[in-house]
Chains A and B, each alone.
Chain A
């Protein structure tokens, strides 16, 4: 429990998801605990080696600092009970509905700004607010086709929203790969649990992207747009394209003419109707956005405005996941949906407010300070572990540009047992990113999502760009969500599952050699080996 030493003085012990404070496993985790204990450190080390070999072989990697490396996947899965999941799912769906309404509002009538619920200046100064997107209608009124809302579990075990990711949340491929990898290298942990499957995500995503196509297109062509092989998430882009069976394109593969987007193919230009883009807004269209972008497609914004192509996620979503807008989300939920937020926020201080700013700067050593427009943990300063120099530095930055920063108290989020050196288990902090797909009719939340784990002892930074790993995340299936018909298949006697007479026919095999022939063959004098008389030299083949 070495991370306790690093917990700032005065703070509460983290919530451990498997073990109670007395060190015994929670009832829900008892089977898992038993399996892990029976494997022991040696067993876990061996499986860890097999896991690394598996990930290497399959090239399941992300690129960091020009180096491709496997995403560290921990062997201990994280369990969520059906009721915990129901709560998360409902909370995520609620939040998305409010954020969709917010985006439609600010890129349209601007009611929320007129009503003064959120300062107009806060919205218009967001680096991700794009006037170019104003007035672009999306065909099925969806802007957040895919989202990843980051949750943490506080000291009391309550799930809270840490941040929203409404632009290009990445990591879903690792959710699917983690499940396969774990079933591959550690099948015994699955023995006592029914886990809700995750592998239909690509299908759900493709359905949602097709549903977002411009109206009147009956068989829309959907593509995944990647910045290219040098992007850190390229593995995921290729994974999604492959599993959806659609083209993975780069900007140079597409061009616009007459407000239509075309793809260059060996059989001539083909129209494209939906672009699932995994490049940032700024790089999407050099005509409207960054003029020096070589990754985008000149004219694509006009094509979207003309309703000839759908860009998913929509341009300008970043204003809604701006960290300075985040404190207003609970109010937005009440404003648009007239509901109480199901998932609370983490307390957040708006540093553009002079009173809050001075209060925060006075106790910076107990705060986390984050740039409001960045993601991936870049630029983040953790007060309790920062050097005086870092604190001094960030104070200057905050004073110079208060709008660019927010502050939150340090939340000691929950821990899960994790395999560390030599196969030992130790608690490590985890967060959770549930992925949600909106097809305009329903929001599908992938059961589980990506649990990121801070691998260094005591660390609270889980971003893969900062040395974080991941965990396979299980939502236990109690059958309550079932719409499936497995019961019918199970009820039938197994014999009837295989009804084809051909099947019961035994396999054809080559006729067996008679034993006596083998015996006789063995007894034959092998002249090449046996020394023979006469003139031939001994040992020489005749």
Chain B
């Protein structure tokens, strides 16, 4: 497979996940800001923007927050930007994607670029974007052969997911809104119902432990690491090879989270930091091994 094609699949996985997780997070955070007025808007907005590595300069109301995070096509940290970047990558591999996948992604992109009515009721508009992204994921799931391309895409998605769970946890809803915060964190990861089934109280430590170490929830960092590891093994099975460093990164992360003992709050923060660093290292490793090996000649000026 062409490195360029592989790279596009990898980024398609990442950007779709980023757009979806950011939209869910924004919808939930906005709802919390609106419903529970105990935290000043400026502080509430800043908490989300800093976690998304975006500038909080001048953003002091929920309406403004939505405008900035929905963003624009040029900035792939924003929802519109991530969807647009996903679509750009999908165009490059349009021949290898099912027609339905491209159409679903395209409709999400068009909805965003035509400027949906985000200001009136952002929750409604964000839900529409989310729906379309879920369609993309659904079609991919039941139409794509489990080949090399698929494994690159899943690897991208899982690395992004680890990053997004880390950003979600960095917001500290539990400290800003002690009563409604922990439930909001769970909702932002679509984890409320699965968490409740565990029978644990909705409080900071159990919630954070769940998002990092739960063995069954598909957005816990532990499951993401396991899925990333499986994707790398899938790549090896389909014939690609590298130095083994990529498998080492994701495998060590998975085993650290899988065999973690009952954590203290400090342990949890340590795990989150390590997981995010490991995801970054793994991302760099994918580049070095498959997309731009050392010594690649790049013409530029």
Contact = CB atoms under 8 A, between A and B. Distances in A.
A183 B34 contact: yes
A497 B178 contact: no
Most chain B Cβ neighbours within 10 Å, of A200, A246, A507: A507
Interface stretch (B116-124, B132-140, B147-155, B236-244): B116-124
B47 A195 contact: no
29 contacts: A180-B35, A184-B31, A184-B123, A187-B30, A195-B37, A197-B35, A197-B36, A203-B201, A244-B196, A245-B193, A245-B196, A245-B197, A246-B199, A486-B177, A486-B178, A489-B175, A490-B39, A490-B40, A494-B43, A494-B50, A497-B43, A497-B176, A498-B170, A500-B272, A502-B166, A502-B170, A503-B166, A507-B18, A508-B283
A50 interface: yes
A494 B175 CA distance: 11
Interface string B49-73: 0111100100000100000000000
Interface of B: 7, 11, 14-15, 18, 30-31, 34-40, 42-43, 46-47, 50-53, 56, 62, 76-77, 85, 89, 120-124, 127, 163, 166-167, 170-172, 175-180, 183, 193, 195-199, 201-202, 269, 272-273, 276-277, 280, 283, 300
Contact of B172 (A183, A497, A507, A509): A497
Contacts of B179: 197, 200, 484
Contacts of B46: 494, 497
Contact of B199 (A187, A245, A494, A507): A245
Contacts of A179: 35
Most chain A Cβ neighbours within 10 Å, of B167, B195, B196, B272: B196
Most chain A Cβ neighbours within 10 Å, of B35, B40, B195, B197: B35
A486 B38 contact: yes
A193 B37 CA distance: 7
Contact of B85 (A246, A502, A509): A509
Contacts of A477: 37-38
B43 A490 contact: yes
Interface string A199-221: 11001000000000000000000
A534 interface: no
A186 interface: yes
Contacts of A46: 120
Nearest to A179: B35
Interface in A488-542: 489-490, 494-495, 497-498, 500-510, 514
Contacts of B120: 46-47, 50
A230 B180 CA distance: 33
Question: Considering the complex of A and B, which 5 residue pairs feature the smallest CB-CB distances, nearest first?
Answer: A245-B196, A184-B123, A194-B37, A503-B170, A498-B50
B178 A185 contact: no
A107 interface: no
B11 A504 contact: no
B53 A506 contact: yes
Interface residues of A, number: 49
A359 B271 CA distance: 77
Contacts of A245: 193, 195-199
Contacts of B195: 245
A477 B35 CA distance: 12
A478 B77 CA distance: 38
Given A185-B124, A484-B38, A494-B47, A500 B273 contact: yes
B216 to A, nearest CB: 14
A502 B38 contact: no
Contact of A510 (B31, B36, B89, B183): B89
A47 B197 contact: no
A26 interface: no
B121 A185 contact: yes
Contacts of A180: 31, 35
B276 A502 contact: yes
Interface string A172-194: 00000001100111110011011
A11 B39 CA distance: 46
Contacts of B89: 510
Contacts of B14: 508, 510
A183 B38 CA distance: 15
Contacts of A334: none
B197 A510 contact: no
Contacts of A485: 178
A54 interface: yes
A377 B40 CA distance: 44
A187 B172 contact: no
Nearest to B85: A510
Contacts of A495: 50
A397 interface: no
Contacts of B121: 47, 50, 184-187
B167 A503 contact: yes
B196 A507 contact: no
A53 B166 contact: no
A242 interface: yes
Contacts of B276: 502
A34 interface: no
